[in-house]
Structure 1
Amino acid sequence: MQIDLMSSKFYRICEWIWRLAYVNLLWIFSTLAGLVIFGMLPATVAMFAVLRKWVMKEPDIIVFQTFINTYRKEFIKANGLGFIFVVVGYMIYFNYLFLGTIAGLMHMVLLSGLFCTVLVYLNTLFYIFPVYVHYDLKLFQYMKVACIIGIINPLTTISLVLSIVLLYYLFYLIPGLVPFFSSSMTGLLIMWCTSMTFQESK
């Protein structure tokens, strides 16, 4: 009986290893198919759509079909969302350069404001993909909801950041894992933690 239980657990672990590696490879190939720049965001959305199904206890989905269908369906919309983040990021960077021309008290005040803006920006970017695949909203609404979730769940955000730091330390120690698990395991951590906030908000 104990041997059967151990065999079952070993099988489940191997199954999850295969799933994560498979999704990670799909993400890489789909990103390349979109010439990287245009493929990365749709591929990431598609990956999170698959991960969401797994986290929501739907492990028997057809992974390839779910991934490709989401990739095609969300290609333009996901890139539109990415364009917004690029523009906002450029504005933040421009303001950072502008601060170099200011000195004194005004510099410190504006620097503090810019620091808060960067935190909000990173916080929104952190949660945007789980929100994107969980809700059906307009582009700017995705950003609003992602920002709010991060702000009202600071402990979740901190725990998630620490978990990702530890994960990437593991990748640093074993770089051979990166091509097979870097994106999918990062996404799974984010999706799993965020899904708990979705359940709490019901």
Structure 2
Amino acid sequence: MESFALERIYRFTDIIVRTAYINILVIVFSLLGLIVFGFFPAIIAAFSIFRKWFTGYSDISITRNFWRVYKREFVRSNLVGFIIVLVGGLLYINMSIAEVIQHDGIRLTYYPLLLVNILFLGMLIYLLPMYVHFDMKLVELFKNAFLCMFAMPLLTIVLVVTIVMLYFLFTIIPGLLPFFGFSLFILVMMKGALISFERMLGFSEIAKD
């Protein structure tokens, strides 16, 4: 019994250390790409590492695989990131304008825009996990990520609640940010998305190795 408990503690500690190390890699490689060009390749590399762990490859070299994915996906991940930032920025600006301008016609658009923003954020929960798990064209990637959000609504709600709880955790304990500020969000999103992918018909046929 004691050896079993020690083994559980060791595994838990190992997960914590690895997760913190991935977060540090995200920060370092984001800086390597001057943040603007390095952030999304680093995020994609982190998603790829967690995907490997959750699909049975727990003994892979973290640094080597992180660097390999970072280089391979540098251009494509930045393209996806540019689309995310552009669309998200436009949606946020339009919603902000609808909120502050004192005009009945414009203010009526606030709640529809708020709904679109919420749906966009919900889609992002599945978008990057789907990016690393499937071979898809960009149009299919965004379309299927959007559909995935509705395929398992309860799971989507659980993921949103978990992400919000993590956000508040980091606001309460900001000292955790350098060690888990990205990696915990990525871990939760990747694990939740994989559960959804496994239950959705047709996706297994195009999954990456």
TM-score in terms of structure 1 length = 0.90
C-alpha separation in 1, matches of 2:90 and 2:160? 25
CA shift in 2, pair 1:103/1:172, >3 Å: closer
Deviations 1:48-103 (A, max 9, x none): 00001111122111111111110000011011111112222233245336646673
Name the SS of the counterpart of 2:109 in structure 1: helix
C-alpha separation in 1, matches of 2:152 and 2:135? 21
Give ranges in structure 2 of 5+ residues lacking alignment.
Answer: 202-209
Match of 1:16 in 2: 15
Tell me the number of residue pairs that the alignment of Structure 1 and Structure 2 aligns.
200
C-alpha separation in 1, matches of 2:30 and 2:63? 15
Q: Percent identity?
A: 36
Name the SS of the counterpart of 2:56 in structure 1: coil
Structural mapping, 1:14-163, within 5 Å: 14-96=13-95, 99=98, 103-104=103-104, 106-107=105-106, 109-163=108-162
Give ranges in structure 1 of 5+ residues lacking alignment.
Answer: none
Match of 2:193 in 1: 194
Deviation of 1:176 (Å): 2.4
C-alpha separation in 1, matches of 2:127 and 2:22? 19
CA shift in 2, pair 1:60/1:97, >3 Å: closer
C-alpha separation in 1, matches of 2:101 and 2:127? 33
TM-score in terms of structure 2 length = 0.87
Deviations 1:6-63 (A, max 9, x none): 1111111111111101111111100110101111100000000000111112211111
Deviations 1:152-174 (A, max 9, x none): 22221211121122223333343
Q: Alpha carbon RMSD of aligned pairs, Å?
A: 1.9
CA shift in 2, pair 1:82/1:176, >3 Å: same
Deviation of 1:143 (Å): 1.1
CA shift in 2, pair 1:101/1:135, >3 Å: same
